């Protein structure tokens, strides 16, 4: 006869709660620990709308959106794909829709609906509002020590997310890749305070050859393109330089000047980029914004073009504390990709962002939470 499983899930966020939901279909003896309210971390997702996945049906194409974890996720996504996520949400009675850019949301646009419907399915399980401090391997299973209790379990799932929770693994000597902020605004050496709030649309990152928007802030730059860059370069040492092309490579400024000889340069350029930014950079280049088209000589024209084609920003840090996810976590070399069980410790599993896995904006991080939660639950069911 199968020995009764007594399962402990540490962290009732996206992945831990979903893992509990999967496991609850077979087991009743499941205890969830969280230092705060269960699934509170889902509430701010997608600006309160919960961008729960992204319509990438090809596994490799999906995995490409994870600067950390890409190859490791192949087998995870082959077991629980975007298609499975949509079916799961349907089963939870949460209808979804897909935006043109592939982002998937609940039809209600409400992360609260997602939270409530998942909680409804797991609220019969034991929940301990406690902070887990330590887990100790025993001859048969695990001892879990929290700030309020001590309890033994046969299986332990660590789903403490990317922001804290690594200290409970300290005594196990599991390698943790130092967490760094990702999907975050970046601090710059240049002071953009006077133009904070201005958005440059559809500009190109020379490093990544992708086009999106940046926003100037009091501390540097933010916006979707910055988020992607912060993710790709999350492990890069500061300071480093980013280069943007603010205009089309083929933009023929000379012809525009010829056609507008009596127009101020600030008005000529503000047809391409926001006026306040034009004024800001012209003054930086010692060019009067009121200079007429015919007064711009070849040298000044090239100065302007060089600036706009090679707009450089020096990154000095991340807006720490504001990150959406972290790059880093449990070293993937420590974990079997087929089972998500520790290679060193039997019946110790990891799911979600606690692993050294993180994706771009667009629903990829929650997809990782659902898929890894499923694989962990299957591994425990098959154990």
Ligand X SMILES: Cc1cc2nc3c(=O)[nH]c(=O)nc-3n(C[C@H](O)[C@H](O)[C@H](O)COP(=O)(O)OP(=O)(O)OC[C@H]3O[C@@H](n4cnc5c(N)ncnc54)[C@H](O)[C@@H]3O)c2cc1C
User: Which parts of this chain interact with ligand X (CB under 6 A)?
Assistant: 10-16, 33-36, 41, 44-46, 50-51, 131-132, 159-161, 164-165, 168, 324-325, 352-354, 363-366, 369
Nearest 5 degrees, angle CA 272-CA 278-CA 279? Answer: 155
**For ligand X, the closer CB: 217 or 282:** 217
Reported for 119-124, long-range contacts at CB under 8 A and 24+ positions apart, including other chains, are 119/17, 119/38, 119/39, 121/21, 121/24, 121/92, 122/17, 122/20, 122/21, 122/24, 122/32, 122/38, 124/24
- Measured from the CB of residue 365, what is the shortest distance to ligand X in angstroms? 3
- Measured from the CB of residue 350, what is the shortest distance to ligand X in angstroms? 9
**For ligand X, the closer CB: 10 or 21:** 10
**For ligand X, the closer CB: 200 or 351:** 351
What sign results for the dihedral spanned by CA atoms 336, 339, 341, 343? Answer: negative
Which H or E element spans position 314? strand 311-318
Order the strands of the 30-33 sheet from edge to edge. Answer: 126-128, 30-33, 7-10, 155-158, 348-350
- Measured from the CB of residue 213, what is the shortest distance to ligand X in angstroms? 18
247 alpha carbon, distance to own chain's centre? 28
What sign results for the dihedral spanned by CA atoms 112, 117, 120, 122? Answer: negative
Cα gap 85→61, rounded to integer Å: 16
Judge contact between 352 and 368, C-beta under 8 A. Answer: yes
- Measured from the CB of residue 367, what is the shortest distance to ligand X in angstroms? 6
Nearest residue to ligand X, scored by beta-carbon proximity: 13
**For ligand X, the closer CB: 311 or 350:** 350
- Measured from the CB of residue 131, what is the shortest distance to ligand X in angstroms? 4
Judge contact between 160 and 353, C-beta under 8 A. Answer: no
**For ligand X, the closer CB: 165 or 220:** 165
**For ligand X, the closer CB: 7 or 247:** 7
- Measured from the CB of residue 330, what is the shortest distance to ligand X in angstroms? 11
């Amino acid at each position: 006869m199968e020995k009764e499983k007594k399962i402990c899930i540490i962290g009732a966020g996206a992945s831990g709660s979903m893992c509990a939901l999967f496991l609850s279909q077979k087991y009743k003896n499941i205890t969830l620990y969280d230092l705060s309210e269960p699934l509170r971390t889902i509430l701010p997702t997608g600006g309160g709308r919960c961008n729960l996945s992204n319509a990438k049906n090809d596994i490799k194409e999906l995995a490409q959106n994870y600067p950390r974890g890409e190859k490791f996720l192949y087998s995870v996504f082959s077991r629980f794909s975007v298609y499975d996520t949509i079916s799961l949400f349907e089963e939870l009675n949460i209808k979804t829709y897909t935006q043109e850019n592939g982002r998937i949301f609940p039809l209600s646009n409400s992360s609260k609906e997602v939270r409530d419907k998942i909680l409804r399915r797991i609220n019969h399980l034991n929940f301990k509002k406690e902070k887990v401090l330590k887990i100790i391997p025993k001859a048969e299973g695990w001892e879990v020590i929290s700030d309020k209790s001590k309890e033994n379990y046969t299986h332990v799932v660590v789903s403490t997310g990317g922001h804290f929770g690594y200290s409970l693994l300290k005594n196990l000597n599991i390698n943790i890749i130092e967490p760094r902020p990702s999907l975050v605004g970046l601090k710059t050496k240049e002071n953009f305070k006077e133009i904070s709030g201005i958005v440059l649309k559809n500009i190109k990152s020379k490093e990544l050859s992708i086009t999106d928007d940046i926003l100037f802030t009091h501390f540097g730059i933010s916006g979707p393109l910055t988020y992607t860059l912060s993710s790709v370069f999350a492990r890069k040492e500061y300071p480093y330089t980013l280069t943007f092309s603010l205009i089309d490579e083929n933009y023929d400024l000379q012809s525009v000047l010829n056609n507008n000889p009596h127009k101020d340069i600030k008005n000529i350029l503000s047809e391409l980029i926001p006026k306040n930014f034009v004024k800001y950079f012209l003054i930086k280049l010692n060019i009067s914004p009121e200079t007429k088209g015919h007064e711009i000589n070849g040298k000044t024209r090239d100065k302007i073009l060089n600036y706009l084609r090679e707009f450089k920003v020096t990154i000095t840090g991340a807006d720490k504390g504001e990150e959406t996810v972290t790059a880093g976590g449990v070293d993937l070399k420590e974990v079997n990709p087929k089972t998500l069980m520790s290679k060193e410790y039997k019946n110790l599993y990891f799911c979600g962002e606690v692993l050294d896995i993180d994706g771009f904006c667009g629903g990829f991080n929650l997809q990782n939470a659902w898929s890894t939660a499923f694989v962990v639950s299957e591994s425990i069911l098959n154990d």
